[in-house]
Structure 1
Amino acid sequence: MSTVDQADGYTRSILVAIVLSVSGILASQFTTAPAFLLDPTLLESPADASNASTFVFLTLNFLGFFLVGGVYLWWTERSWEWLDLRRPSRRGWLYVLAGVFASIAFVIVVNTVATLLDLPSSENQVMELIGDDPTMVLLMIVVVFLFNAPAEEFLFRNVIQKRLYAAFSRTGAVVVTSLIFALVHIPAYGMAAGGGAAPLGAVGVSLAVVFGGSIIFGTLYAKTDNLFVPIAAHAAFNAIQFAILYLVLRFAPEELESATAVSVEAGLALLPL
């Protein structure tokens, strides 16, 4: 391949990846519309919305990722044979465990650095939706396993990252996918709850978690060529966080609830709301 052809391959692949990423985020905004019609409280005061409405909203939110990925496969005539989904081998399950431990370790490191540098904590819509309701926390575990992890990993790993293999090495595709994934989250984390720009440090912490998490899950997919592996690791990682939060909300003192919520919130930056 000539230098010009290679550059065109890089450019085209990156543009396709960006369009798919942005389309997934935008599609999620449209697919959630029925939830707002069902319960306008989701717009006015999300924490006061019913658990049923919140569950519907979260489910529809991730539907946009499935739609964009599916339409791309149909449009490019790749069909569902492009989907790398199968039962993991013993080696695959070991990669799942490695991914979970790596994710936990990474979030701990980010939290530690943020504490040492006295960086502000980022605001996460998931925590706003959950409030202090333990039941909603349990429902979030269901959402993570059935909708969040499958939808996100399908679009960003099996569609975008795999598409980038045509122009980049596998390591390069993981890095490029993760950079794009982090960049498309800037609007979500760049705006403070009361309006205006969010603190730069808080945005940096959130984007670091998003980028690092994507690197971990992307590497799992690159190593195994099995979408089930990053889905399982991603879902288990967030489920562990929600399980800890549930136990704290049910049994811990109020002071510990606040501290745990801040810690859990960093890892929940991986939920693209």
Structure 2
Amino acid sequence: MATSTRRRTDGPLRSTLVAAGLAVVGLLATQFTTLPALLLDIRLATAPTETSIASRTLFFVLNFAGFVLVGAVYLVVTDRGWSYVDVRPPTRRGWAYVLLGIVASVAFYVLISVTIQLLSLPASENQVASFIGDDQTMVLVMIAIVFFFNAPAEEFLYRNIVQKRLYDAFTRLQAVAIASLVFGLIHFPVYAVSSPSLLATMVPVAVVMGGAAVFGYLYAKTDNLLVPIAAHAAFNALQFGLLYLALEYDLEEAAPAGEAILAVVTAIPL
């Protein structure tokens, strides 16, 4: 009963700080959960493409396990329990939102891709691209990782925990906006480390915010975690599919348009 009272009287500032704290801790946790993989092969930190596919796969699995760990600890500490997790088979309406999410994500992706190319915007390469290189097999492995680890872990923490935590003090749409902003901002230092400029950092950060807004909206409308998970996984699988085709047919060498496709796929966050 005390927990319910605390939720009802929670103010906007406290809710925002708690949500932001959870988002930051989630990202920091991945630095610790991936240590076993790094200890097994230190090259993952310096030259990941020189390591085995098994090592890289373990790294990503442990990376996303960090998100789940933080979310699980929060549920236990706050006595919310696993009943707080909104997981159930999607209804027809739910599947309709999955389709809507995929279409919206693709439309957003195309819009950003065209904008980047037309304006010749710089964009920092994401970490995933540095682990794949030109290894087509790793691209296929990443599709499996997206479905079984990436999408479920990110949506669990950043939608079912962070965004839902904001419901205590904000409307659904306000919570989606704030959660998306927080999700984008915590990625700023991630991209800034290898970025040649502020603009090159802000481009992928803006894309991260846009993607988070799409998946956050799906969760807000359905209260079902499986809906944004399905849309998220399908969208990322499409990105990796494009990357696989670019590598398979050597599009970068075939034509300038192919080079542009490959540049966009590796620049936009996965």
Given that residues 124 and 267 in structure 2 are in contact (C-alpha distance below 8 angstroms), is that contact kept between their aligned partners in structure 1?
yes
Q: Which residue of 1 aligns with 2:168?
A: 166
* Structure 1 residue identity aligned to 2:232: H
CA–CA separation in structure 1 for the residues paired with 2:215 and 2:169: 20
Q: TM-score, normalised by structure 2?
A: 0.92
Q: Which residue of 2 aligns with 1:143?
A: 145
SS across alignment from 1:233: helix
SS across alignment from 2:11: helix
Q: TM-score, normalised by structure 1?
A: 0.91
* 2:40 counterpart of 1:38: yes
1:121 is displaced (CA, Å) by 2.5
* Structure 2 residue identity aligned to 1:62: F
User: In the TM superposition, what are the counterparts of 1:190-209 in structure 2 within 5 Å?
Assistant: 190-192=192-194, 198-209=196-207
Given that residues 146 and 237 in structure 2 are in contact (C-alpha distance below 8 angstroms), is that contact kept between their aligned partners in structure 1?
yes
1:83 is displaced (CA, Å) by 0.6
User: Given the alignment, which residue of 164, 172, 177 partners 1:175?
Assistant: 177
* Structure 1 residue identity aligned to 2:228: P
Given that residues 117 and 260 in structure 2 are in contact (C-alpha distance below 8 angstroms), is that contact kept between their aligned partners in structure 1?
no
User: In the TM superposition, what are the counterparts of 1:99-248 in structure 2 within 5 Å?
Assistant: 99-192=101-194, 198-248=196-246
Given that residues 65 and 155 in structure 1 are in contact (C-alpha distance below 8 angstroms), is that contact kept between their aligned partners in structure 2?
yes
1:7 is displaced (CA, Å) by 10
1:222 is displaced (CA, Å) by 0.3
1:260 is displaced (CA, Å) by 2.6
1:226 is displaced (CA, Å) by 0.3
User: Given the alignment, which residue of 45, 51, 54 partners 2:53?
Assistant: 51
Q: Which residue of 2 aligns with 1:82?
A: 84
CA–CA separation in structure 1 for the residues paired with 2:111 and 2:252: 25
Q: Which residue of 2 aligns with 1:10?
A: 12
Residues 171-192 of structure 1, C-alpha deviations (whole Å, 9 max, x = no match): 0000000010011001001122
Q: Which residue of 1 aligns with 2:98?
A: 96
User: Given the alignment, which residue of 22, 25, 30 partners 1:23?
Assistant: 25
* Structure 2 residue identity aligned to 1:218: G
Q: Which runs of 5+ in 2 are unaligned?
A: 1-7
Q: Which runs of 5+ in 1 are unaligned?
A: 1-5
Q: Which residue of 2 aligns with 1:3?
A: none
Residues 50-87 of structure 1, C-alpha deviations (whole Å, 9 max, x = no match): 11100000100011100000000000001000010111
Given that residues 216 and 228 in structure 2 are in contact (C-alpha distance below 8 angstroms), is that contact kept between their aligned partners in structure 1?
yes
* Structure 2 residue identity aligned to 1:23: V
SS across alignment from 1:121: coil
CA–CA separation in structure 2 for the residues paired with 1:56 and 1:222: 32
- Relative to structure 1, the CA distance from residue 122 to residue 83 in structure 2 (aligned partners, 3 Å threshold; closer, same or farther) is same
1:41 is displaced (CA, Å) by 1.3
Given that residues 86 and 226 in structure 1 are in contact (C-alpha distance below 8 angstroms), is that contact kept between their aligned partners in structure 2?
yes
Deviates more, 1:211-220 or 1:198-207: 198-207
Given that residues 124 and 200 in structure 2 are in contact (C-alpha distance below 8 angstroms), is that contact kept between their aligned partners in structure 1?
yes
Aligned length: 261
1:8 is displaced (CA, Å) by 6.3
